[in-house]
Amino acid sequence: MDHLSSRQERILVCIREWIAETGEAPSIRQIGEAVGLSSTSSVVYQLGRLEDRGLIKRGRRWRDCRIS
């Protein structure tokens, strides 16, 4: 498996820390703010790549995602 990009690593860390602190995953906008992405579509794209790699699992919406 290829290495994660630095952006993907930051997003994964953001999700892990957010879940640890609040018990739920952050919103798309919250992830974007935390990692310095202003475009929600960029965040969704990166989340899709993480999901394709099996690193996160989405529920019915991204807010329901969990670390695999």
Per DSSP (E only), the strands in the chain are 56-57, 66-67
Write phi, then psi, for 67 (nearest 5 degrees): -75, 130
Q: Quick check: pTM over 0.85?
A: yes
Sorted by where each starts, the structural domains of the chain and their CATH numbers stand as: 6-67 (1.10.10.10)
**10-65 per-position pLDDT tens digit:** 999 999 999 999 999 999 999 999 999 999 999 999 999 999 999 999 888 877 88
CB 59 within 8 A of CB 48: no
